[in-house]
Chains A and B, each alone.
Chain A
Amino acid sequence: MTTLTEAPETPAAREIPVRRRRPVDRLPYLLLLPCLVVIGVLLLWPLGQVVVMSFHQLNNVRQLRGDREWPWVGLGNYTQILGDPFFLTVLRNTVLFAVANVVLTMILGTLVGLLLNRLGRKMATFVASCVMLAWATPALTGTIVWKWIFDDTSGLVTWLFNALPDGVSETLFGRSDWTGYGWFNSPLLFFSILTLVVVWHSFPFIAVSVLAGLKSVPSELHEAARVDGAGPWRVFWRITFPLLRPVFGILIVLSTIWDFKVFTQQFVLAGGTQDRPTFMLSIYSYAEAFSPPPKYGLGAAIAVILTLILLVVTGVYVRMVLKQEDES
């Protein structure tokens, strides 16, 4: 380089101004380095490692520490899981739960978003603040409160059912005394309450996002449609929905990803990892790996299956976001 600058008349000198205009600046890479190290070590390496672990038989903490060998079992863990009829139960629980929760969260969230858009200013602020409370509450304490509401002796729901006239309660449910009723004992009831808790936690995000989308749509369109005599149902499907289609797309994908890996709410509601009939993939993986006797390899294989399912959903999501960034 220095020799070239000393001899500007040579043909090669023409390269210099080109290089000067776009020097390779090391600074951005230097600024990125700590971030790349953290993501690499704490997210990408474990992601690779979980795959490696799923091909080994790992039943001992000493193996994890590296003091003992890792016997290679190939696809053994996978064939064991996929061959177990219990896996089908878990998969069915996971998929049905995710679908039910995404549908309910989207419907409720959208309705509340539309409602907030129509309410007067003060009322909208009040309702939005209450909705924010549900959003802000940590999954852990939100679930504990719902568990208290469904407590079998002094819970509010038990009291409400007890307050029903005995005759009505008897004909509808076949019992009039609800004290001591195990709300979490049957898988169907358990999943219903879990759905209530998860939808309660997640509809605010949908409502606020839909509201933000609605604010960006010119209101003249809705007014024109209403003047033409279209009902709210038609206005929504013919005007609102097509305009907000990209927003809905991303919200559905995000909800799907979140509802596929629900853990805290289930763990707290079930009081640990003993309630096998209500297992879903994430808690199944955790229980296999960490409940004694530990089966880290088996748990890792289940985690890989969960990750693969979510990878497909993520692929859809990333394509949507990139498409939107291109458009804007």
Chain B
Amino acid sequence: MKKVALNGAGLLVALFAAFPVYWMIATSLKPSRDIFASTPQPVPAHPTLDHYREILTGNLIPGVTFADFFLNSALVAVTTVVLSGLVALLAATAVARFRFRLRTSFLIMLLVVQMIPLEALVIPLFLMIQRLGLYNTLPSLILTYLGFSLPFAVWMLRGFVAAVPKELEEAAAIDGASRAQIFRRVLFPLVAPGLVATSIFSFITAWNELIFALTFINDQDRYTLPVAMTFFFGRDDTAWGPVMAASTLFTLPVIVFFLLVQRRMVSGLVAGAVKG
């Protein structure tokens, strides 16, 4: 009896959590007349990919399709990930492998800057982007997201670097490897899974961001996906089919990446605990 109640509660939670995601996908697969039917269909009765075809091939403005926004977003996110991963790996190595005077101060600063409300930085960063002449360019967003993702990336990578047994590097040093060689041949391959996990977090940050992209980009053909979605769909509340198709295409990569990180995170942390 008690078990039934617990399982029932579990099903309710699962329904509440997953239903919006299901409803998004289900709506995107229904023809418009089913979407606006007076009685909603729990499952698409006449599944169709029409809405996907419409947004992928149709021009939202002359010469610009949904795929272009997808590319803009991907370009910004991937560049951010590469830069942030590189800079974070160097800093994480410094923090996890060396004892130096300002180490604790640096860690505290890292913790504090993660708490800066980014929403409060739109105005001064807008000023900086204007001064640098980067207004209305994708690099303005890459720079911004680099700053946002870096503190967390260093914080997270620090754990992965620390989990690599120091003895391996010492052995390589005894064998005569230089510091650069140790970094490239010993540390880097072992930290790579952690770097992947960290990169995915940076990717999600850059991919999802709306406010700065809304403020720094003016030309429609340079919009990132979130801006395009609020601009083209947010104002027209009736086109729910294409809106849900676009939302699904925007959301799926994030969900896939997110689930990947979850597993990697756990295995990475557990491996570290066992070795340490």
Min CB distance, B104 to chain A, in Å?
9
Decide if B67 is an interface residue (CB 8 Å cutoff).
no
Q: A65-B131, A141-B251 are in contact. Are A131 and B13 (CB under 8 A)?
A: yes
What are the residues of chain B within 8 A of A217 when measuring CB–CB?
A: none
| Residue on B nearest A22 in the bound complex, by CB | B99
Decide if B47 is an interface residue (CB 8 Å cutoff).
no
A131 near B90 (CB under 8 angstroms)? no
Q: Which of B229-252 contact A (CB under 8 A)?
A: 229-230, 233-235, 237, 240, 243-244, 247, 250-251
A314 near B112 (CB under 8 angstroms)? yes
Q: How far is A45 from B103 in the complex, measured between Cα atoms in Å?
A: 21
Q: A136-B254, A154-B40 are in contact. Are A142 and B120 (CB under 8 A)?
A: no
- The total number of A-B Cβ pairs within 8 Å is 257
Interface string of B1-17 (1 = CB under 8 A from A): 00100110111011111
Chain B residues touching A, majority SS: helix
Q: How far is A16 from B44 in the complex, measured between Cα atoms in Å?
A: 80
B116 near A263 (CB under 8 angstroms)? no
B113 near A43 (CB under 8 angstroms)? yes
| Residue on A nearest B118 in the bound complex, by CB | A261
A317 partner, pick from B87, B115, B234, B251, beta carbons under 8 A: B115
Decide if B162 is an interface residue (CB 8 Å cutoff).
no
B250 near A321 (CB under 8 angstroms)? no
What are the residues of chain A within 8 A of B255 when measuring CB–CB?
A: 133, 136-137
Min CB distance, B197 to chain A, in Å?
14
What are the residues of chain B within 8 A of A34 when measuring CB–CB?
A: 86-87, 90-91
Decide if A285 is an interface residue (CB 8 Å cutoff).
yes
Q: How far is A246 from B143 in the complex, measured between Cα atoms in Å?
A: 36
B14 near A130 (CB under 8 angstroms)? yes
What bracket does the count of chain B residues touching chain A fall in?
Answer: 35 or more
What are the residues of chain A within 8 A of B13 when measuring CB–CB?
A: 112, 115, 127, 130-131
A28 near B17 (CB under 8 angstroms)? no
Min CB distance, A262 to chain B, in Å?
9
Q: How far is A146 from B226 in the complex, measured between Cα atoms in Å?
A: 16
Chain A residues touching B, majority SS: helix
What are the residues of chain B within 8 A of A286 when measuring CB–CB?
A: 119, 122, 211
Decide if A156 is an interface residue (CB 8 Å cutoff).
yes
B100 near A28 (CB under 8 angstroms)? yes
Interface string of B104-128 (1 = CB under 8 A from A): 0010110111011111111111111
What bracket does the count of chain A residues touching chain B fall in?
Answer: 35 or more
Decide if B154 is an interface residue (CB 8 Å cutoff).
yes
Q: How far is A61 from B251 in the complex, measured between Cα atoms in Å?
A: 35
Decide if B150 is an interface residue (CB 8 Å cutoff).
yes
Which 6 residue pairs are nearest across A and B when measured between Cβ atoms? A42-B147, A136-B258, A35-B91, A46-B124, A31-B94, A303-B120
B6 near A118 (CB under 8 angstroms)? yes
B146 partner, pick from A42, A45, A133, A147, beta carbons under 8 A: A42
Interface string of A264-288 (1 = CB under 8 A from B): 1001100110000000001001100
Q: Which of B194-230 contact A (CB under 8 A)?
A: 204, 207-208, 210-211, 215, 226, 229-230
Q: How far is A263 from B116 in the complex, measured between Cα atoms in Å?
A: 15
B121 near A137 (CB under 8 angstroms)? no
What are the residues of chain B within 8 A of A64 when measuring CB–CB?
A: 126-127, 130-131
| Residue on A nearest B10 in the bound complex, by CB | A127
Decide if A81 is an interface residue (CB 8 Å cutoff).
no
B124 near A53 (CB under 8 angstroms)? yes
Min CB distance, B59 to chain A, in Å?
22
Decide if A214 is an interface residue (CB 8 Å cutoff).
no
B146 near A38 (CB under 8 angstroms)? yes
Q: How far is A123 from B90 in the complex, measured between Cα atoms in Å?
A: 42
Q: Which of A101-153 contact B (CB under 8 A)?
A: 112, 115-116, 118-120, 123-124, 126-127, 130-142, 144-149, 151, 153
Min CB distance, B157 to chain A, in Å?
11
Min CB distance, B192 to chain A, in Å?
18
Q: A115-B13, A144-B243 are in contact. Are A27 and B179 (CB under 8 A)?
A: yes
Q: How far is A109 from B197 in the complex, measured between Cα atoms in Å?
A: 25
Q: How far is A118 from B21 in the complex, measured between Cα atoms in Å?
A: 26
Q: How far is A64 from B7 in the complex, measured between Cα atoms in Å?
A: 59
Decide if B262 is an interface residue (CB 8 Å cutoff).
yes
What are the residues of chain A within 8 A of B109 when measuring CB–CB?
A: 39
Min CB distance, B71 to chain A, in Å?
18
Min CB distance, B31 to chain A, in Å?
13
A138 near B123 (CB under 8 angstroms)? no
A141 near B127 (CB under 8 angstroms)? no
Q: How far is A130 from B262 in the complex, measured between Cα atoms in Å?
A: 14
A299 partner, pick from B6, B123, B144, beta carbons under 8 A: B123
Q: A138-B208, A307-B116 are in contact. Are A61 and B130 (CB under 8 A)?
A: yes
What are the residues of chain B within 8 A of A172 when measuring CB–CB?
A: none
Q: A132-B258, A200-B17 are in contact. Are A115 and B247 (CB under 8 A)?
A: no
What are the residues of chain B within 8 A of A133 when measuring CB–CB?
A: 17-18, 21, 255
A132 near B243 (CB under 8 angstroms)? no
A139 near B208 (CB under 8 angstroms)? yes
| Residue on B nearest A141 in the bound complex, by CB | B247
| Residue on A nearest B11 in the bound complex, by CB | A127
A200 partner, pick from B10, B16, B113, B144, beta carbons under 8 A: B16
Min CB distance, A22 to chain B, in Å?
10
